[in-house]
Amino acid sequence: MQGSAPGPGLFPFDKFSSTPWIIDGVRDDAATDTARGDLSRRLFLVPRTQVVGLATSGGRVTGIDLVTAGTRTTLPVPASCAVILAAGTIENTRLALTSLGLGDTRFGAPRLGNLIGHLHSNITVRIRRAAFGLPAAADSLETTAFLVRGSASGRRFHLQVSAAAVGGSDPERNMWQQVPDIDTLDHIRANQDPDWIVVVFRGIGEMGPGTALSPDPARSWIDLSPETDQFGAQRAYVNLVATGDDMTLWTRMDQATFTLAAALSGNDPKNIEYLDRRTNTWQATAPVPDAGGGGSWRDGLGSTHHEAGPLAMGTPGTSVTDSAGRFHHLTNAYVAGPALFPALGSANPSLTALSLARRTAQAIVTERTLTPPPGLTPLSLAPGDWTMIAAPGTNPAMRRLGQILETAGSYGLYSYHAQQFADATIWIEWRELAAGDNSGIYLRIPDPTAPDALHQADVNGHEIQIDDLGAGNPAGLDIHRTGAIYGLQAASSFPAHPAGQWNSYLIETRGTTIRVTLNGTLVNDYTSNRATTGFLALQVHSGTIQYRNLRATTTP
Ligand SMILES: Cc1cc2nc3c(=O)[nH]c(=O)nc-3n(C[C@H](O)[C@H](O)[C@H](O)COP(=O)(O)OP(=O)(O)OC[C@H]3O[C@@H](n4cnc5c(N)ncnc54)[C@H](O)[C@@H]3O)c2cc1C
C-alpha cells in the first residue's frame, strides 16, 4: 500500500484503510477469468464471518467453526489445505488456548506467556524557528522526520522524531490520528505558527521477552476469562506488566529524549517550551518526572497496539511455533503476525510480521509443490513444436494460459513432434477443472502426419488416462479411470486430488515396461506388447484439463 501525502505535515488520505486495496485485489482476481469462475481464483473475501474455533484431529486442523451472517457452520479442512491464523496477537492466542490444546494449565485457565508490547512516550516541545535558522512563517515548510536509536539495561529503544509547523500544539493530530479532509487542506496549511516549530518525540522502548510455554506469573501473559462473548466463546484475559528492567529502560529513554530536545534548541531555554499534556499548555521548563521516572507524557501499556509474542517461534519444547510459523504440534496450521515474535525489539512490528508471513507462504508452497526429479528438460511449448491431430469434422483446441496448456472442444491429440521417446522419464502436472473432465497422455504414438494417425495412436500407442469418474469402465474394471493405461491395465490405487487441484504424473518407459507414478505413488507397472518408441501427445477429449510443467529426458 503506497500513498503520497497531500502536503507537508500530512499523511496520505489512504493511510488508515487498506480495505479498498484488498477489494481491488479481489476484483482483479475475479476478473482475470470469469469463464472458469471460482476455480481459477486465488483470493476470496468472506464477509460477515467470525471464526469461533478450530477442530483438530490426528495432529492437524480438520475444521473451522464459523458464524457467518449469524449462522453457525463448520468449514471442513481437507488434508491438502493449510490453515493460517491471522487474527491478531490476542485473538490468535485466544484461538490457540480455546481450540488447539495449548497453554500452561498450572494457573487454572490455560495460559501462554511472552506477551510483549512497547513502552511508549510522547514528548512534545516547540522550538523557535530562529533556533533552526529559519525565517518567520514561510509559504510552505517541509515536514521532517528522523529516527534516533538507543539502548539501556540490555533493551533497545528508538525515538520517532517529527516536526511540523502546522497543527497547533498537536501536529500528531494531523499526522497520525486524522484522516486528512481534502476540503480543509488549505485551512490546515494556512494555520502555520509564525514563530515556532512543534517537534514530537515518540519514544518506543522494548519490553523484555519471557517464555511462552512457562509463563512467569509476575510477567505478561494471556489466558481465558470466564466471561464469554456473543458467540459463547471465552474471552481472552490480557495481563501486561512492565518489569524493573523495562521501567529502567523507559526512564532512560525519556531522559535521552529531554536531552535531545534541549540540544535541538541549542540548549537555550528561551528557544524551547514543553507541552503539558494534562492541561494542553506550553511550559517554559521541562516537566519533572514522578518517583517512578514517569509523567503524563507516557502512554499506558498496551495502548501502542504492538502486542506480540505468545505464539513465539523457536525450538520444540521451548516455543509454540517453528521458524515457518507452524504450530509444533500440528502439521497444517500456521500463524501470521507479531504473535510469532520471540522478542519485539523497539521497531514497529508490521514489516517484520510481513517478512515472516512471506517466509510462511514460501514454506507452505514448497511443502505442497510437487517436484520433478532432477535432470529433466522442460518441453518446448512453442506452437511450432506441437500439431493438433483432429478427428474429421471436429474442432479441438489447446489454449495457452501463460505456461499452462488447457484443453477445449473435442476430439484430437495435441502431438509434440519435436522429439520421439523410447526409453524416457516424463513429468507432467495436470488438473481437472470439474469432476469427470477427461483427457490423457499418449505415449509412443506415430508421427502426426502418418496415415490414420489417430487410430494408430489408439491401437499401437498407450494412453495414461485422466478421468476421475472412469466413464465407460467395463463392469468391475477401472481401465478407463485416472492412472490406468487406458483399456489395458487399471491403476492399483487412486491417489488423485479432487478437481481443481494439481496432480503429477511421473511416467517411466523402459523397453516394454511402462511405470506410472501419480502424486508420488506408483499406480501402474505395465508390460506392453505395443510400440516401444514414438511421439507424445495430450488428448483433447471432453471437459477442461490443464497441463503445466511438462518435462522429459531420454535415457540411453
Ligand atoms: C491505531 C494503530 C496504529 C498502528 N500503527 C502502526 C504503525 O505505524 N506501524 C506498525 O508497524 N504497526 C502499527 N500498528 C500495529 C499493527 O497494526 C499490528 O501489529 C498489525 O496490524 C498486526 O497484524 P496482524 O495480522 O497480526 O493482525 P491484524 O492486522 O489486527 O488483523 C487481524 C484481522 O483478523 C480479523 N479477526 C480477528 N479475529 C477474528 C475472528 N475470530 N474471525 C475472523 N476474523 C477475525 C480482524 O478483524 C482483522 O482484520 C498499529 C496498530 C494500531 C491499532
Whether residue 125 is found in the same domain as residue 98 = no
Whether residue 411 is found in the same domain as residue 499 = yes
Whether residue 272 is found in the same domain as residue 311 = no
Cα gap 82→96, rounded to integer Å: 16
- pTM for this predicted structure: 0.75
Average pLDDT, the chain: 90
39 in a structural domain: yes
Q: If you take atom 47 of ligand 1, which residue's CA is the nearest one?
A: 87
Kindly give the distance from the C-alpha atom of residue 30 to the centroid of ligand 1, in angstroms, as a whole number.
Answer: 26
Whether residue 171 is found in the same domain as residue 256 = yes
- End-to-end CA distance of the chain, in Å? 54
Which range is most confident: 117-121, 190-194, 198-202?
Answer: 117-121
Helix (H) or strand (E) holding 144: strand 144-152
Whether residue 541 is found in the same domain as residue 521 = yes
pLDDT at 299: 94
Cα gap 456→462, rounded to integer Å: 10
E-only strand ranges, 361-459: 377-378, 386-390, 397-401, 404-408, 412-421, 424-432, 439-445
Whether residue 390 is found in the same domain as residue 528 = yes
Mean pLDDT within 542-552: 96
Whether residue 124 is found in the same domain as residue 247 = yes
Pocket of ligand 1 (CB under 6 A): 50-51, 86-89, 91, 305-306, 336-338, 348-350, 353
- The ligand 1 atom nearest the CA atom of 86: 25
pLDDT band at 333 (very low <50, low <70, confident <90, very high): very high
541 in a structural domain: yes
Cα gap 230→271, rounded to integer Å: 55
53 in a structural domain: yes
Kindly give the distance from the C-alpha atom of residue 430 to the centroid of ligand 1, in angstroms, as a whole number.
Answer: 38
249 in a structural domain: yes
pLDDT at 365: 85
Whether residue 40 is found in the same domain as residue 146 = no
Instruction: Give just the sign of the alpha carbon dihedral 449, 452, 457, 459.
Output: negative
Q: Which range, of 11-15, 476-480, 539-543, averages the lowest pLDDT?
A: 11-15
- The ligand 1 atom nearest the CA atom of 337: 26
Enclosing domain of residue 429: 377-554
Q: If you take atom 16 of ligand 1, which residue's CA is the nearest one?
A: 350
Cα gap 51→84, rounded to integer Å: 12
Kindly give the distance from the C-alpha atom of residue 398 to the centroid of ligand 1, in angstroms, as a whole number.
Answer: 45
3-state secondary structure 443-490: EEECCCCCCCHHHHHHHHCEEEEECCCCCCCCCCCCCCCCCCECCCEC
